[in-house]
Amino acid sequence: MKCAPAPRWPLVVTLGAALITGAAVSLGGGLPTQPALRGDLNLHDPTVLRLPGGYVAMGTGYEDIDAGTLRIRTSADGLTWADAGHLGDRQPGWVATLLGQNPPNLWAPTLFQRAGTTYLYFSASTFGKNTSGIGLMTNAALDPRHPDRGWVDRGLLLSSSPRDPFNAIDPARLDTPDGRAWLAFGSFWDGIKLRELDPVSGTLRADRPTTYALASRGGGAIEAASLLQRGAYTYLFVSFDRCCAGLSSTYRVMVGRARHVTGPYLDRAGRPLLQGGGTPLLTSQGRVVGPGGQETFHDGPGTSLVYHYYDAAQGGAPQMQTTPLRWDAAGWPVLPPLPPEERP
């Protein structure tokens, strides 16, 4: 389940004396930290795409503001972010048909680019229900100077109803080296699922209708799947526990890995994610409360993680944060320490 972030938190500027141009800063010659971002960081369930002309980020819409359409941020360097408005003045027509009305906002987008085409997957639902749908838009030439332009609505991709054991929200796409494409999704209910996509159209492959089960907590809180391939493994990042409760949030980022994209996924201790397993990657620390809603993205030669958290120093305002992913000797992802301003 996702929440409706407050429409206009005061602008939060995260500045630090140690800030330098680049992906991370260093504390007194010690370990590099996550970058100290600045500008307008009020973005919930963020997704980031790096383009030749800069970065574009999108996130969950503001409830009952601008028709609840997806919010947009842009950055020239990935460090300083600016509000770039919202995507469209109305929700796609299929949303009201599916849900019976337009919800207060659209949720949890993901941006993916292949051969110059940008694919935008997003969710339409209402809090606490699995009458939900995942939609698709495409853009043949996304311009980071005008990220709200050029989008074509491709309609409803996948839906769920109370008759289904899953919830069709929180999409995340992965293309594999064998030329295939995949969509992970799911929230609560029976957990995280996977369907195969046509890599060109971005839509579900009707000739391969199998739904794979990747992770579950037996109806408990698991959502926000993101997939990443590295070496011999596919890594599954998910969020556990309570989102969207401000400073009462208990969201945390967990990870498992598998030899094949369809699973089985195990955590560091060998526990199956289908049986509630998961290795902690990021939990609440100091002013950073309830981090989650994460997604991996390619950032030049490396891979980064973007997530949101609730800022205890700003009364629980949702904030976006990015960080490079590091890897330990056993091939498990680790994160640099939080920026100086956000350390306990």
Report pLDDT digits (tens) over 12-67: 333 222 222 233 433 333 458 999 999 999 999 999 999 999 999 999 999 999 99
Share of the chain above pLDDT 90, in %: 88
Other beta carbons within 10 Å of 323: 24
pLDDT of residue 2: 52
Q: How far apart are CA 58 and CA 221, in angstroms?
A: 24
Which has more pLDDT, 171 or 340?
Answer: 171
DSSP letters spanning 212-226: EEEE--TTSSEEEEE
Report whether pLDDT(287) > 90: yes
pLDDT of residue 127: 87
pLDDT of residue 31: 55
Which has more pLDDT, 276 or 128?
Answer: 276
pLDDT of residue 23: 39
Provide the token pair at 108.
């949890």
Asked if residue 239 lies in contact with residue 222, where contact means CB atoms within 8 angstroms, the answer is yes
Active site includes 190? no
171 burial (CB, 10 Å; 0-12 / 13-18 / 19+) is: buried
pLDDT of residue 302: 92
Q: pTM of the prediction? A: 0.91
pLDDT of residue 328: 97
Domains and their CATH numbers in the chain: 38-342 (2.115.10.20)
Asked if residue 320 lies in contact with residue 339, where contact means CB atoms within 8 angstroms, the answer is no
pLDDT of residue 7: 37
Which residue is it, tokens 């491709």?
154
Provide the token pair at 37.
């971002």
Active site includes 342? no
The 10s digit of each residue's pLDDT in 291-330 is 999 999 999 889 999 999 999 999 999 999 999 999 999 9
Once rounded to an integer, what is the mean pLDDT over residues 243-255?
96
Report whether pLDDT(100) > 60: yes
**Residue from 45, 311, 341, 342 carrying the catalytic annotation:** 45
Sequence length of the chain is 344
Report whether pLDDT(82) > 50: yes
**Residue from 40, 170, 223, 267 carrying the catalytic annotation:** 223
Report whether pLDDT(191) > 50: yes
58 burial (CB, 10 Å; 0-12 / 13-18 / 19+) is: buried
| Mean model confidence pLDDT for the chain | 91
